[in-house]
Amino acid sequence: MAIRINFKPSLLTFFIALTAMLAFTVVTIIPNVFFYMAFLGAILSVILLFKSWHLVDRKLFIFLGWFLLPSLIGVFSYPVSMILEGNVFNYYQLKIFGRLANLTLLFVFILLLHSYIKTKDLVTPFRWYWLGTGLLMLTALWQFADVYLNLLSFPFDTRAHVHSTYGDEYSFSKRLTGIASEPSYFVMLAIDFIILSALLSGMKKRFILLPFGILLMLLSVSPSGYIAFFMASALAYFFSKLKYAKFKFSAKSLFLIFVVIIILATAVFYIMSTPYFEYIYRRITDPRMLKSARAYMNYMPFVWAWDSNSFSFLFGHGIKSYSIIGTAFNVPDGNPVHVTSNNLYVDTFWEAGLLGLVSIISFFSFVFYRIFKSKNSKLQVFIAFFVLFELMFTSVFRADFASFRFFILLYLIFILIQYDLRKIKGFYV
């Protein structure tokens, strides 16, 4: 898998590239310390070696600031809710410094990064992040060779087993994760690899990289990942076509639509007959899923918030306060509620209230509007829509909104909106 890297030999570029490349390791069996060392090195090198780092982009500042608004609301509501709800939740167990430091450093890093690369090489962080996800895909290929071909032993212990089967047995027993800790982590990065391959590789390489990434994503057998990928693809295609629609149908186009429908129907019929589909279908539709701890932690916070005071319902219980719900409430099996719902919208509602939830929804709506009104190429608009919908849908099952991955994809959306990438070397739109 040949990936061309635009590398400029400087300490600053080295740390930026290393940070982007190691971003995927945070959710793998590789210790996080390597990424955070590179991340801090990148921030310090920008401040020390780049003379114009203080000239931040106002539009990017507002863009990221709007996304961080729910967190700011949570900071405001934290001391008030501690007084109002201190007798219900153990706020002494709440440690907010890590979340605040993470969000602040990511916010500052993206602003400084853009100040540095906007006149130099906009493609650099995305190409190196793509390389990192590509390395993860190679470890999944290694696992594939072990599980399906019995060629190479994959020695790493991850959550690759088939779970939540409710007593049913299937002909397959492993799900691809590569060195990611579990399938839900892997599938997000696999989707990132797919869309970045479309953005950063030429037509010939796409014919290899896209099917390669899609196959590995499918073999992760992640229902939430499937939903995120196919919904993002379908909605991105629909809205990008709607944006440029002329609503003229020729006999040739109608024939092509008919052929595509036949091919898709045949493919769907075949897929539905496989044990993989049966497993996915049962994971989504089995009524026992509604009684799971995960489902419980997604809908009960709305009930608990409604039963609390008006201030906490409107402004939330404070930043990172979802992590202490377990000091007052338990899931159905009797264990304390987990430290996160793994859902951006649920965590945001609990921590920043109705106002925070409205804020994050309005942010995504604003981004959608800006993409729809942009004057860039069809492919660039499609990719921008895809990344937006990918973040929106993956946030339903993985609340990684304080991660480098989330911020680099937000930054990518900003670039896709603000710049015509046909004029910038390294992008293929």
Chain mean pLDDT for the chain: 84
280 pLDDT above the threshold of 70: no
Q: What is the pLDDT of residue 261?
A: 64
312 pLDDT above the threshold of 60: yes
- Which residue has 């493609």 as its token pair? 123
* Tens-place pLDDT, residues 384-395: 999 999 999 999
Q: What is the pLDDT of residue 131?
A: 97
Q: What is the pLDDT of residue 26?
A: 93
Q: What is the pLDDT of residue 397?
A: 85
3-state per-residue secondary structure call for 233-261: HHHHHHHHHHHCCCCCCCHHHHHHHHHHH
Q: Are 282 and 168 in contact (CB under 8 A)?
A: yes
* Tens-place pLDDT, residues 338-353: 888 888 999 999 999 9
* Tens-place pLDDT, residues 232-253: 999 999 999 888 876 555 666 5
* Tens-place pLDDT, residues 319-338: 999 999 988 888 877 788 88
Q: What is the pLDDT of residue 171?
A: 42
Which residues fall within 8 angstroms of residue 201, CB to CB, at 6 or more apart?
3, 209, 428
Q: What is the pLDDT of residue 172?
A: 45
256 pLDDT above the threshold of 90: no
Confidence of residue 265 (pLDDT cuts 50, 70, 90): low
* Interval 2-25 mean pLDDT: 76
* Tens-place pLDDT, residues 80-105: 999 999 888 999 899 999 999 999 99
Phi, psi of 161 (to 5 degrees): -75, 160
Phi, psi of 52 (to 5 degrees): -110, 25
Domains in the chain: boundaries: 11-423
Pick the most confident of 129-138, 269-278, 394-403.
129-138
Phi-psi label, residue 247: left if phi above 0, alpha if psi -120 to 50, beta otherwise? left
Q: What is the pLDDT of residue 378?
A: 92
Phi-psi label, residue 249: left if phi above 0, alpha if psi -120 to 50, beta otherwise? beta
Confidence of residue 267 (pLDDT cuts 50, 70, 90): low
Higher pLDDT, 27 or 51: 27
Neighbour tally for 84: CB within 10 Å: 16
